[in-house]
Structure 1
Amino acid sequence: MTEENVSNGTEARIVKSGEQKRKEHNERIIRTGIASIMGIIAGILSYTLVQSDNQGVIGLLILLGAMVFQKHIFMLMKMDVSGLGGKDWFYQSFMAFAFWFITWTILLTIQ
Structure 2
Amino acid sequence: MMSEAEIVQTAPEVRKEKGEKNREQKQAEHIQRIHRTLVACFMGIAAGLLSYYLSGSVDPATGMQPNQIIGVLFLMAGVVFQKHIFMLIRIDYTELGNKDWFYQAFMTFALWFISWSVMLTTTTQ
TM-score (norm 2): 0.78
CA RMSD of aligned residues (A): 1.5
1:20 corresponds to which of 22, 25, 28: 25
When Rg is computed on C-alpha atoms for both structures, the one with the higher figure is: 2
Q: Provide the C-alpha distance between the structure 2 equivalents of 1:71 and 1:5, rounded to a whole number of angstroms.
A: 34
Aligned residue among 99, 110, 113 for 1:87: 99
Q: Tell me what 2:119 maps to.
A: 107
Letter of the 1:18 counterpart = R
Which 5+ residue runs of structure 1 have no aligned equivalent? Answer: 7-12
> After TM superposition, which residue ranges in structure 1, 4 or more long, deviate above 4 angstroms?
none
Task: Describe the SS at the equivalent of 2:56.
Answer: coil
Structure 2 residue ranges without an equivalent (≥5): 1-14, 58-64
State the aligned residue count.
102
How far apart are the structure 2 equivalents of 1:91 and 1:74? 15
How many Å apart are 1:54 and its aligned residue?
Answer: 3.4
Name the % identity.
52
Match of 1:10 in 2: none
Q: Distance in 2 between matches of 1:44 and 1:23?
A: 32
Structure 2 distance, partners of 1:48, 1:35, is: 20
SS in 1 for 2:95: coil
In 2, Cα distance between the equivalents of 1:5 and 1:36?
Answer: 37
Q: 1:58 aligned to 2:70?
A: yes
Matched letter for residue 46 of structure 2: I
Supply the distance in 1 between the matched residues of 2:72 and 2:94 (Cα, whole angstroms).
27
